[in-house]
Amino acid sequence: MKRRVEDGADQIHTGDEASRSESHFAIAPMSDEPSQVQPRKKRATLQTRPEEATVAQEIDHIDLVCSINALSASEFQFRFLPQESPLLSFTPNTGFGSDNPVNSLMISFKVSSEMSEPDLEGCFSLIEETSSEAYRKSVVRWRPKAKKEEMRDPDMRYLIVRVPDSLHEASSSADSHHPVHGFLSFMITHDDDYEYAVLYIYEIHLSASLRGCRVGAHLMHIAETVAQGVGLVKVMLTVFTSNVAAAQFYQKLGFSKDDTSPEPRVLRNGLEKPPDYLIMSKDVVSVTKASATEAISA
How far, in Å, CA of 241 to CA of 28, rounded? 9
pLDDT of residue 106: 92
The pLDDT value recorded for residue 8 is 39
Collapsing DSSP states into helix, strand and coil, what is residue 204? Answer: strand
Q: What is the maximum span of the chain, computed from C-alpha positions, in angstroms? A: 64
pLDDT in tens, 43-79: 444 444 545 544 444 357 788 899 999 999 999 999 9
Query: What are 10-25's pLDDT values in tens digits?
Result: 444 444 443 333 444 4
Task: Write the CA distances from 114 to 10, 20, 39, 81, 143, integer angstroms.
Answer: 21, 31, 26, 16, 23
Across the chain, mean pLDDT equals: 77
Of residues 142 and 26, more confidence is placed in 142
3-state SS assignment for residue 240: strand
pLDDT of residue 39: 41
Q: At 30, is the secondary structure helix, strand, or coil?
A: strand
The arithmetic mean of pLDDT across residues 245-261, rounded, is 94
> Tens digit of pLDDT for each residue in 134-186?
899 888 899 999 999 999 999 999 999 998 875 444 445 545 568 999 999 99
pLDDT tens, 184-231? Answer: 999 999 765 655 789 999 999 999 989 888 999 999 999 999 999 999
Q: How far from the centroid of its chain's Cα atoms is residue 266's Cα?
A: 31
User: Over the stretch 30-47, which tens digit does the pLDDT of each residue have?
Assistant: 433 444 444 434 444 444
Of residues 270 and 47, the one with the higher pLDDT is: 270
Comparison of pLDDT for 153 and 260, the residue scoring more: 153
Query: For position 137, what pLDDT does the model report?
Result: 87
Q: What share of the chain is helix, strand, coil (3-state, %, to 5)?
A: 35, 20, 45
pLDDT of residue 118: 95
For residues 212 and 206, give the distance between their C-alpha atoms in angstroms, rounded to a whole number.
10
Q: What are the two backbone dihedrals, phi and then psi, of residue 7, each rounded to the nearest 5 degrees?
A: -100, -30
pLDDT at residue 255 tops 80: yes
Domain ranges of the chain: 18-293
For residue 4, name the pLDDT band (cuts at 50, 70, 90).
Answer: very low
Whether the per-residue pLDDT at 285 is higher than 70: the answer is no
Q: What pLDDT score was predicted for residue 297?
A: 57
Architecture in CATH for domain 18-293: 3-Layer(aba) Sandwich (3.40)
